Amino acid sequence: MKRKIYLYDTTLRDGAQAEGISYSLKDKIRIAKKLDEFGIQFIEGGWPYSSPKEKEFFDYFKRHKLKKAKLVSFGSTIYPKTSAQKDKNLLSLLRAETEYVTIFGKTWDFHIKEVLKTSLDENLRMIYDSISFLKKKKRIVFYDAEHFFDGYKSNPEYSLKTLKVAEEAGADTLIFCDTNGGTLTSELREIIKEVKDKVSVSLGIHTHNDCGLAVANSIIAIEEGCSQVQGTFNGYGERCGNADLTIIIPILKLKLNIDVISEENLKKLTEISHFISEVSNTKHMDNHPFVGRSAFAHKGGVHINAVVKNPRAYEHIEPKLVGNQRRLLVSELSGKTSIVVAAKELSYELEKKSPKAKKIYRLLQKLEKEGFQFEVADASFKLILEREFKKYKKFFQLLGFRVIIEKREDGNLISEATIKLKVQGKLRYTVSEGNGPVNALDNALREALLEFYPVLSSMHLSDFKVRVLDEEKGTAAKVRVLIESQDEEESWTTIGVSENIIEASWTALVDSVEYKLLKEIKKNK
């Protein structure tokens, strides 16, 4: 019989505790709906009524029910020497009107004595009264045994007793929590083996990543019998983060053949990972397993040659299974194979041993020696190929530009760019201000071109990076500028290199605009 594993997402509560992340009410609602569409079974919404925003969130989902997922409210056991009937935290869980609630309690004698400042017996009462009160109110209760593994290593008899009390009080699932994230995988496996047969209710796992083991520990816990796995998307969370569901889900589905999500929804994994990254206002990590931009990127010539023949040579799964795609990076290390493949993607036939392939490879080596790096600037390299195949159309001619930066007496710093272009035989002269010189150039260029190419209104710059290439030359050093742009369909990166940061930025900026225009021409053919 196939095992049923339940996915429990805590991005909206534990993930929101990550440094630099702050969700608005609208953000939380959007993420919850996206998780529901994706197929997550349990979505933890946070502490109800802890703030006006949290109140509005739970009130919203009273009126607009999730399609399939169960919304879970979160709280703690009662405080020492208080009663459940008067506990504001427990009463707020009831007012949230969620069928499922999660509460955490102490299992580590150190925490009970040093943090709660109460007795071990009083802690057991707090656990029992809290859970039994919620069960009498017809709630399904998940009990998070906070610091369970640290507690078990310190005092196994007592930490097990906290689980037994929670079970006696009616807890429906007991969750083993590695709250400090310091438990080794071998320790975690042995502790779960010792404990799992001593309780009769279902078990879950909640791990943190302070040793980089959160995913591994979650997988081991599932292999040892846990049926609920808690985590966050992209591994967001306090300190080093939580167990990353974007890694756990495909491992369960593709490696352990546990049907936690449909194949169709799994193909949306990369999309939802990027969506949550955008809403969280955090950079999506390129080297993120399964969903990162570099997860199926190949650079070495040996790797590329093999992958072209059979992707299994250097890929453990098909990228499309998780909604990602294979990328063959162009660099001098990858040889001519990557050039041939890139040309084929643009519908150009190119033989590896042909004079044209050799010419492009020599050009690539020359440019890389100057500081260009096309493995991270695919759009600029595609423009090189278009030029070499004589398919490149010059959309405008630069007659000159000037950038002025003025520091005024009132402390304001003003950037102003002036551009003179010839576009379709007409002279265009524009002046624009911006937050900085590159922003001013971008604004002036768009103003000059929009009349002729209105499609440019659908693209915008999403990232700007500068790297000094030869630091020993100080302010005379050469710099590499990378500009990432995007429209409704995709993002692309362009590059510029120069001793002058404005010139390097202009090169990358022009490539970005011309790539967009060339893309639109090909799309409309």
Tell me how far CA of residue 459 lies from CA of 16, 37, 284, 444, in angstroms: 30, 28, 20, 15
| Residue intervals in the chain for CATH 3.20.20.70 | 8-279
Whether residue 202 contacts residue 173, with contact meaning beta carbons closer than 8 Å, is answered with yes
Task: Determine the Cα–Cα distance for residues 229 and 245; give it in Å rounded to an integer.
Answer: 9
Tens digit of each residue's pLDDT, the chain (525 residues): 478 999 999 999 999 999 999 999 999 999 999 999 999 999 999 999 889 999 999 999 999 999 999 999 999 999 999 999 999 999 999 999 999 999 999 999 999 999 999 999 999 999 999 999 999 999 999 999 999 999 999 999 999 999 999 999 999 999 999 999 999 999 999 999 999 999 999 999 999 999 999 999 999 999 999 999 999 999 999 999 999 999 999 999 999 999 999 999 999 999 999 889 888 988 888 899 999 988 998 888 788 888 888 989 999 999 999 999 888 776 655 567 777 877 777 777 888 888 888 888 888 888 888 888 887 788 888 888 888 887 667 899 999 999 999 887 887 888 999 999 999 999 999 999 988 899 999 999 999 999 999 999 988 888 888 888 876 677 677 899 999 988 877 788 999 999 999 999 999 999 999 999 988 887 776
User: Quick check: helix, strand or coil at residue 452?
Assistant: coil
Do strands 70-76 and 100-106 pair parallel, antiparallel, or not at all (unpaired)? parallel
Q: Would you say the pTM of this structure is higher than 0.85?
A: no
For 432-458, how does the pLDDT look when each residue is reduced to its tens digit (9 = 90+)?
Answer: 998 889 999 999 999 999 999 999 998
Do strands 100-106 and 491-498 pair parallel, antiparallel, or not at all (unpaired)? unpaired
Domain 297-379 CATH class label: few secondary structures
| Residue intervals in the chain for CATH 4.10.430.20 | 297-379
| Residue intervals in the chain for CATH 3.30.160.270 | 397-523
Task: Determine the Cα–Cα distance for residues 324 and 356; give it in Å rounded to an integer.
Answer: 31
**Superfamily of domain covering 8-279:** Aldolase class I (3.20.20.70)
Do strands 426-434 and 413-423 pair parallel, antiparallel, or not at all (unpaired)? antiparallel
Q: What is the pLDDT of residue 333?
A: 59
Whether residue 327 contacts residue 297, with contact meaning beta carbons closer than 8 Å, is answered with yes
Q: For residue 347, what are the contacts with CB-CB under 8 A and spacing of at least 6?
A: none
Whether residue 224 contacts residue 207, with contact meaning beta carbons closer than 8 Å, is answered with no
Tell me how far CA of residue 98 lies from CA of 43, 50, 174, 305, 312, in angstroms: 11, 16, 19, 55, 46
- The separation between CA 223 and the C-alpha centre of its own chain, rounded to angstroms, equals 26
Q: For residue 279, what are the contacts with CB-CB under 8 A and spacing of at least 6?
A: 23, 27, 30, 31
Phi, psi of 90 (to 5 degrees): -65, -40
Task: Determine the Cα–Cα distance for residues 194 and 157; give it in Å rounded to an integer.
Answer: 12
Whether residue 275 contacts residue 51, with contact meaning beta carbons closer than 8 Å, is answered with no
Q: Which CATH architecture has domain 397-523?
A: 2-Layer Sandwich (3.30)
Looking at residue 283, what DSSP letter applies? P
For 278-310, how does the pLDDT look when each residue is reduced to its tens digit (9 = 90+)?
Answer: 889 888 888 999 999 889 988 887 888 888 889
